[in-house]
Structure 1
Amino acid sequence: GDGGSGGSGGKPPGGHGPRRGIFRSRRAGLTVLILAVAAAVAVPVALVVTASHGTKTGGASATQTPGSAARTGTAAAASSVPSLAVPTVAGTVQVGQNPSYIQIAPNGKFAYIANPGAGAITVLNTASNRVSGTIKIPQGPPQSLSFSPDSRTAYVSVYNTRGSVHLVAFIDTATSTVTSTVQVDNITPGPSTTSPNGRDLYVPNHNTVLSGTGHNVIDVIDTATRELVDDIPVPANPHWIVFGTNGRFYSTDHMSATVTVLNAKNNAIITEIPVGETPHAAVLSPDGSRLAVTSFDGNVVFLINTATDKMVAQIPVGRNPLDIAYSRDGRYLFTANNLANTVTVIDTADNRIIAEIPTGRAPTSISVLPNGRQAYVTDEGDGTIEMLNIPK
């Protein structure tokens, strides 16, 4: 994808493609190489219907009372009754111009929301579900972000559409101020993640090109010295990074139809896992046994067995899934489907879809509270976030 769109209007369903922003897959006339995966296991999924849309609540920091008006998803037939209760939309919060990415701090007390059009980070108090502040990012449009394990520092990926700005801004979350910036080699730094010990920050390149200096590397920043210390060449082109529980980390290679497995000790490539077209966002299951990866153009989720480094399932989901998250107990898997205006809910016991939950326009990201009770979804086209109640 490339720079933020700068407006709050979303593409209508069935429009000319996804809006430009941190998660958009910019083709630039390139033909995507799609690898055929012979060993893929097709998993049957139950058809679902969406419930009545209900009325979204307007106004700043407004919430909707759960109940019959809340949007939810239901099973289609008695033969496909969900084994899990379906999450419900608890309400919406107005958060700004075009929220492209949300991340809840590890301590669960607040969330940061990237608003590239506003050039700012919106701060959400997760106890009250109200906006508690705004942090201007003068260097350029904030596109995505992550946190240090202790929640004291936020790392904001910043870039513009011209490629003249490409850096990571460090924010002190106690004072809500930018304390330093680190320029990265790749021109479109994507969603970053820290090593488990918090010492290094890994930043993928989100630019959709097949070759060129700085185009297909993962930048590594020392979080103590705040200096760029390594570039890791990987196949075109790294969009997401996830650390496993087995001394490995994974990169989704968007234009190469692969997921790269790397050694976390020396950043060396171990192997490449063939998946399918445009692997995008990724998340590790709580028990570490599965890596779930969205296919942006394939409209599926690839499931990878982390013990064997093999893809073991494909699950059809809504159109253009941008982000993906597990519930904290691992029972649910969610995808935010940008052009379907839905969140797909998957029962991980049998990889079956149990609901398609309608959202606002152009959902782009999803993040789950550490207590597992709620998830937040950014609606880039409406300037809102949705709160999903996750059944226990």
Structure 2
Amino acid sequence: MKTSRSSIGKSIFLAATMLATGSAAWAGQAPGALSSPDIPISHHDRVYAAEQFSNTVSVTDPVDNKLLGVIRLGDPQPGNFSPLYKGQVLVHGMGFSPDHKMLAVVSIGSNSVTFIDTATNAVKHTTYIGRSPHEAFFTPDGKEVWVTVRGENYISVIDPQSFEERRRITTPSGPGMQMFSPDGKYAYICSSFNPETDVVAVAEHKIIAKVKQESPFCPNIAVTPDGNQVWFTLKDTGRTQVFNARPPFNPIRTIDTGPITNHVNFAHTARGTFAYVTIGGLNQVKVFRTDDFSQVATIPVGNLPHGVWPSGDGTRIYVGLENADALAAIDTATNSVVANVPIGQAPQAIAYVPGAAPNPDDRQNLQALGVAGQFAHLALASRDGSKDGKAPTSVSLFDQGLIQILQASVTGLEPRQKYVLALAEHGDGSGTLQPLAAFMTNPAGSAIVNAAGPIRQIVDQSAAAARRYLVIASGDVAMPGEAVQIEAQ
């Protein structure tokens, strides 16, 4: 009996998939168990990014770091302002099933979780839940999807078969993200509004312990593959906190990581297990050992690194660059960036899913980037001159057709003070100021500031006589003071 080459290939892939998605899923890399085998990078793997201003999910092949296309879940502004609009808004969070066959994608602005078939890139269902959900992930047994409803005070527990909400787990207001121990026994839920992380017994859906957060704003949490430690980030103070993943769940270490500390994840290699922490403002990924917490590398990656996820064999770490519309690939052997992939606007959560594509050549339900690939970058520097010669604030203008969404990653200001992002008449920040957005810095002197309008047409160097200059001034909208940061030339 003759056997075709394609049949042999399919058999090998199915065998590898069964190995990778058995009782211990995800292959020795977070969020799975350390005891599972690594899965070498292949064309069957996919890297997904949730992109909140283009409302897309980008799909990348990690072998050649090539964008295959995007899954369009909604429209950019102003199309999504219509009262008859049915798409998703602010595509943000992401998790995947233990069998690697389904994504759960959270959209903050439309209060939804969209379930996507990884083999076909098709939307299977959209479940609408409470106000401003943030992140979603499957339990390790695949029987439930837990979603943090950050705009309220509970975890929404969804049945991934019926896509219906089955129960709610009450938490302090503003649960930021949950992640599970590799054995599925515990869930760890940090808060974005309260200085408390809750430990939940998964089988009973009950809080069994509380861990003090050193500040209220935690956007991200992760568990080491050996199940010993939980790491979570504190975006408001620029720190990363570590506690014991098992009783008594005691604090272990707090690390000063830097302004706009975003996400953390792990790669296990022959040299040990390492935590990779994305730091906006500094535009770096910092790498720490998990045994002695020493910092072993600082990796420049580009503007406002956000989501982070390891490959199935720990040889790569992928980072979403929120203010660069790109995906950075890091080689964990050298801790250096080896590729940058253009993707959609303002990537947030990242997920690397081994074996997601049974047919690696299948492109169904994928679209070209289109307007999602259009953006411009500016930088703001201290009016008095930056001490290290670097501009402390990066600005991205994401095209939405005739208008842009402006996002500024602000650093280098006084902590807990009021400021205004404004348009100035002159490049030195003098003249009348036209406020765009008011904000207050966090304890690290940083902030993420957003505005919308035909801004590129005003601040572009070709705007001639009508040109205005982006600045940051002290004070508020009613009474802005002098400019403290001005457009870098």
Q: Which TM bucket (shorter chain)?
A: 0.5 to 0.7
Partner of 1:219: 241
**Deviation (angstroms), 1:234:** 2.1
Aligned length: 265
Partner of 2:154: 120
Could you tell me which amino acid in structure 2 is paired with residue 108 of structure 1? Answer: G
Contact in 2 for aligned 1:56/1:92 (Cα 8 Å): no
Partner of 1:109: 143
Change (3 A) 1:356 1:113: farther
Structure with higher RCO (Cα < 8 A, 6+ apart): 1
Q: How far apart in 2 are the matches of 1:191 and 1:325? A: 14
Q: How far apart in 1 are the matches of 2:166 and 2:295? A: 42
Determine which of 177, 183, 189 is the counterpart of 1:156.
189
Q: Which one has a larger percent helix, Structure 1 or Structure 2?
A: 2
Q: Does 1:302 align with 2:328?
A: yes
Task: Output aligned runs, 1:33-44, within 5 Å.
Answer: none
Partner of 2:231: 202
**Deviation (angstroms), 1:128:** 2.8
Q: CA RMSD in A?
A: 3.4
Partner of 1:191: 220
Change (3 A) 1:330 1:259: farther
Change (3 A) 1:46 1:111: closer
Q: How far apart in 2 are the matches of 1:323 and 1:52? A: 17
Partner of 1:232: 255
Partner of 2:276: 250
Contact in 2 for aligned 1:121/1:142 (Cα 8 Å): yes
Change (3 A) 1:85 1:230: closer
Partner of 1:382: none
**Deviation (angstroms), 1:327:** 2.2
| CA-to-aligned-CA distance 1:300-351 (integer Å, 9 cap, x gap) | 111111122110111111111111112232669xxxxxxxxxxxxxx8x9xx
Q: Does 1:179 align with 2:208?
A: yes
Change (3 A) 1:134 1:216: same
Determine which of 168, 173, 184 is the counterpart of 1:140.
173
Contact in 1 for aligned 2:344/2:369 (Cα 8 Å): no
TM-score (norm 1): 0.60
**Deviation (angstroms), 1:233:** 2.2
Contact in 2 for aligned 1:86/1:355 (Cα 8 Å): no
TM-score (norm 2): 0.49
- Please, which runs of 5 or more residues in structure 2 have no aligned partner? 1-51, 56-63, 76-84, 88-117, 371-489
Contact in 2 for aligned 1:184/1:228 (Cα 8 Å): no
Could you tell me which amino acid in structure 2 is paired with residue 143 of structure 1? Answer: G
**Deviation (angstroms), 1:48:** 7.3
**Structure having the higher Rg:** 2
Change (3 A) 1:45 1:104: closer
Q: How far apart in 1 are the matches of 2:153 and 2:275? A: 31
Q: How far apart in 1 are the matches of 2:73 and 2:148? A: 30
Q: How far apart in 1 are the matches of 2:73 and 2:53? A: 18
Q: How far apart in 2 are the matches of 1:180 and 1:199? A: 16
Change (3 A) 1:136 1:293: same
Q: How far apart in 1 are the matches of 2:197 and 2:176? A: 10
- Please, which runs of 5 or more residues in structure 1 have no aligned partner? 1-11, 19-41, 58-83, 208-214, 333-346, 359-392
Determine which of 261, 267, 271 is the counterpart of 2:287.
261
| CA-to-aligned-CA distance 1:221-278 (integer Å, 9 cap, x gap) | 1132122121122233421111112122211112211111111211110010111110
**Deviation (angstroms), 1:86:** 4.8
Q: How far apart in 2 are the matches of 1:102 and 1:43? A: 26
Partner of 1:317: 343
**Deviation (angstroms), 1:102:** 0.5
Contact in 1 for aligned 2:196/2:210 (Cα 8 Å): yes
Contact in 2 for aligned 1:111/1:125 (Cα 8 Å): yes
Q: How far apart in 2 are the matches of 1:196 and 1:177? A: 23
**Deviation (angstroms), 1:141:** 1.5
**Deviation (angstroms), 1:206:** 1.8
Percent identical across equivalent pairs? 22
**Deviation (angstroms), 1:140:** 2.3
SS in 2 for 1:245: strand
